[in-house]
Amino acid sequence: MSPTTILERIRGLFASDTSEHLDCISDAFKNGTLREPAHPMSDQELAHAIREFRSTEVSDWTIAKLSRRFIDVPRDC
């Protein structure tokens, strides 16, 4: 799956219709200007980032949007 496809899926799940941040990342992938960081994240930094991300409260809007997506998914069972 291409990076731009992944970004489009992320946008559909979590972002509003317009997102400057995701547009900037998508454009950088398309133009080939997105580069890996000069100093990759250490395991300790990654663990800290994950703890910080998981401790952030999820908004009611996000839960409602994800709930609608799960309800609207057709089941093949």
In this prediction, residue 52 carries a pLDDT of 93
In a domain, 77, yes or no: no
Between 67 and 16, residue with greater pLDDT: 67
In this prediction, residue 14 carries a pLDDT of 67
Which stretches of 1-77 are DSSP H helices? 3-14, 20-31, 43-55, 60-72
In a domain, 50, yes or no: yes
pTM above 0.85, yes or no: no
pLDDT at residue 59 tops 70: yes
pLDDT at residue 50 tops 80: yes
- Contact predicate 22/7, CB 8 Å: yes
In a domain, 28, yes or no: yes
Report residue 58 CA to chain centroid gap. 14
∠ CA 3-16-37, nearest 5°, is 35
What is the span of the domain harbouring residue 15?
Answer: 3-72
In a domain, 29, yes or no: yes
Number of domains in the chain: 1
Q: Could you report the per-residue pLDDT of 2-45, keeping only the tens digit for each?
A: 777 777 777 777 666 667 777 888 788 788 887 766 788 899 99
